[in-house]
Chains A and B, each alone.
Chain A
Amino acid sequence: MFVNAPTVQELLHDCAREVRSIMWDVTALDGPALAAAWPAFAVHAGAALAAVPPPDPATQLLAGRMQGPRPRPNRWGPPVDAEPDPHLSAAGDALAAVADLVQRHATPPKTAQAARDADLARRRIVECLFIASHATALGLHEHATRLRPARPGIAFEQPGVQLAVAGATLAKSRRLASELDTLQAHAAHYLAGAPGREPLRGAEHFVDPDRLPHVLAAWEVTALRVLHASPPSVRDLAGVAHAEQALLVHTMVILNAAAEAGVIDHDGFTRQIRPRLQDAHLAWGDVAASWPAQMTTPAPAALLGVEASAQLHQGLADITRDGTGWATPALIAQRVHLAEVTGLLRDALGAGRARAGRFAELPSELARAGQIRAPARLLAAMDPHPGRRGPELDSAPRISDVANRRIVLVRPEQTAGATATAADLGRQMTALTQALETLPLGRANLTVVEPAPSAQTASRGVRPAHSPRANTHLGRNLTARG
């Protein structure tokens, strides 16, 4: 019977995602929950680390250290009676599954490649451990700053004085945080240690096949929220435009790899797609520039938009980047199933066209509602027809605006330039998405031989959800996922 069980790589990726999600925003309220989840996580991390063959002294020392600094029963700080943090618990569960898989199936490595894989798995586990211990210590430090110490001779029931939250007192919080600081230093030392533990570039770089669809979907939701907020933050609007611009840059790199691999028609890409991508890229940059940092709405910048943009950039960079440069087309082709990713990106650019349309509506909409403010000198500099407006209007430029910092409301007629810029972007995006819809597939997708699955799909034991030879164009059903 076929069972689609996650691999060790996927479990480690899940674990990394969970522990990093804790870092989203660690507050005083998270401290007790993280402390409650920590002992189980530490045990599972230690078991996973010890299970990876072959055992070396440094790893054994760290794995043993995961049992806690003291003998039973209180191995990690005093117990905390809070509900365990779900992310840290999920990360611990993933590591428990890793330990189970490795214990049942792994044998001592017989080749250099297998030894490198084992070393990489150890590093991934310790990286998760490092981040989780850092987040938990941070939460406990934050928690401790909100509590007052118990002092001899002072009644505990004083109003407004909190001695503990969810069972985590000041002393407990500080003690566990201190233990975790020490562990964190040990993990950092391990990661920075032996030269043989340096990760290799290229072959072991794992791209989670589910990550790109996930981050693209998350990006669409976040961008939609930003663009339809009332009012949106100017920072978030500029952030959306810049992220869309980056999406086009990554798309160019991936489609270039697809053309080189014969997944899409090479000539069609060179003649039809590349120039349109470049034009749309410049147009998104112009739209981003029409929302400068000096301009404001009543809404502040939101961490939500920043984080979604970061995830989008990271999800794409996993495919296109090699260190601080670009990955070669051949390396990109090894990392992902190019036909599938090409289809995903085409759909994402289609959604980007709709977002471009919204950018054309926003300037006048916000100005009519009296929600955009900007320095008068900025508006004066942007005004293509200076001197037309009468001095009776508050937002009309004055001579003194060159020097002072008077902030004024932006009037609807002053948004004409931004609207025209966004309308031009809409035209560029329409031309690009239409060209993508009619771009023929390359020779690699026109053969009658079933294409080889990517390394990732092979490792998961599943076939691509679609058969590229069913279509000769990059039609919508090309990327339909089962």
Chain B
Amino acid sequence: MRTSPIQTSCNDQAEQCLARAWTLLDRGEHLARQGGGDESGPGLWLLAANSILRARDALEAIHPAAPHGSGLDAPVGQTCSDLVRAAAQQLAGIPAGHEPAGLSLALVHLAQAGHEVEGRSCS
């Protein structure tokens, strides 16, 4: 079956969104692992980092090319919370009908990551 140019464009856009979300989460996880110095203790930051890691890996599991396809430089000057929120916005930008199977699970992990980093500052 041949795909139309519009369909191809939507698929490309969906893949771009997934790849950008991956990059944002990768940066967020890195920051959270360095967040051990804050008053809430290293343990809670570790759990936050792990929750971001699960969201990132879930994205990679449904789109294995995600680590290589964003063309997005690792963002600087943003907090973990900003990065997780930005990743969620990227996923919300996937065109309707082009959501990959398994995205719902990644969204569950992303929501947990958002809950873990909410109100905490790391940058």
Could you tell me the distance between the alpha carbons of A174 and B60 in the complex, rounded to whole angstroms? Answer: 30
Structural contact, A325 and B46, CB atoms closer than 8 A: no
Could you tell me the distance between the alpha carbons of A300 and B67 in the complex, rounded to whole angstroms? Answer: 11
- In the complex, per-residue mask of B88-123: 1 if CB is within 8 Å of any chain A CB, else 0: 000000000100011011001100100110111000
- The segment from A117-125, A237-245, A336-344 that touches chain B is A237-245
Kindly list chain A residues whose C-beta atoms are within 8 Å of the C-beta of B1: 160
Structural contact, B57 and A310, CB atoms closer than 8 A: no
Structural contact, B26 and A293, CB atoms closer than 8 A: yes
Q: A309-B50, A324-B44, A324-B120 are in contact. List 19 more A-B contacts (CB 8 A).
A: A23-B104, A23-B105, A23-B108, A25-B102, A28-B101, A142-B101, A236-B57, A239-B57, A242-B49, A249-B47, A300-B61, A301-B61, A301-B64, A303-B61, A303-B102, A306-B58, A309-B54, A325-B40, A326-B41
A372 at the interface (CB under 8 A from B): no
**A239 and B102 contact, Cβ closer than 8 Å, known pairs A249-B43, A301-B60:** no
Structural contact, B67 and A293, CB atoms closer than 8 A: yes
Structural contact, A246 and B54, CB atoms closer than 8 A: no
Within 8 A of A (CB), among B6-22: none
CB distance from B5 to the nearest CB of A (A): 19
Kindly list chain B residues whose C-beta atoms are within 8 Å of the C-beta of A26: 101, 104
Measured CB to CB, the nearest residue on chain B to A296 is B67
Could you tell me the distance between the alpha carbons of A428 and B58 in the complex, rounded to whole angstroms? Answer: 31
Structural contact, B43 and A310, CB atoms closer than 8 A: no
Within 8 A of B (CB), among A18-70: 23-28
Within 8 A of B (CB), among A173-229: none
A235 at the interface (CB under 8 A from B): yes
A96 at the interface (CB under 8 A from B): no
Within 8 A of B (CB), among A229-280: 235-236, 238-239, 242-243, 245-246, 249, 252-253
CB distance from A28 to the nearest CB of B (A): 8
Kindly list chain A residues whose C-beta atoms are within 8 Å of the C-beta of B43: 249, 252-253, 326
Measured CB to CB, the nearest residue on chain B to A138 is B104
List residues of chain A with CB under 8 Å of any chain B CB: 23-28, 138, 142, 145, 160, 235-236, 238-239, 242-243, 245-246, 249, 252-253, 285, 293, 300-303, 305-307, 309-310, 313, 317, 324-326
What are some 30 contacts across the A-B interface (CB < 8 A)? A25-B101, A25-B104, A25-B105, A26-B101, A26-B104, A138-B104, A235-B60, A236-B57, A238-B53, A239-B53, A239-B54, A242-B46, A242-B50, A246-B46, A246-B47, A249-B46, A252-B43, A300-B61, A300-B64, A301-B61, A301-B64, A303-B58, A303-B62, A306-B61, A310-B109, A313-B50, A324-B44, A324-B116, A324-B119, A326-B44
Could you tell me the distance between the alpha carbons of A23 and B108 in the complex, rounded to whole angstroms? Answer: 9
Measured CB to CB, the nearest residue on chain B to A284 is B46
Measured CB to CB, the nearest residue on chain B to A405 is B68
Kindly list chain B residues whose C-beta atoms are within 8 Å of the C-beta of A325: 40, 44
Structural contact, B61 and A324, CB atoms closer than 8 A: no
CB distance from A285 to the nearest CB of B (A): 8
- In the complex, per-residue mask of B61-74: 1 if CB is within 8 Å of any chain A CB, else 0: 11010010000000
Could you tell me the distance between the alpha carbons of A325 and B120 in the complex, rounded to whole angstroms? Answer: 11
Our pick among A303, A305, A313 for the contact of B47 (Cβ within 8 Å) is A313
CB distance from A238 to the nearest CB of B (A): 8
Measured CB to CB, the nearest residue on chain B to A317 is B47
Kindly list chain A residues whose C-beta atoms are within 8 Å of the C-beta of B112: 310
Measured CB to CB, the nearest residue on chain A to B43 is A249
Could you tell me the distance between the alpha carbons of A253 and B42 in the complex, rounded to whole angstroms? Answer: 13
Kindly list chain A residues whose C-beta atoms are within 8 Å of the C-beta of B62: 303
Kindly list chain B residues whose C-beta atoms are within 8 Å of the C-beta of A145: 97
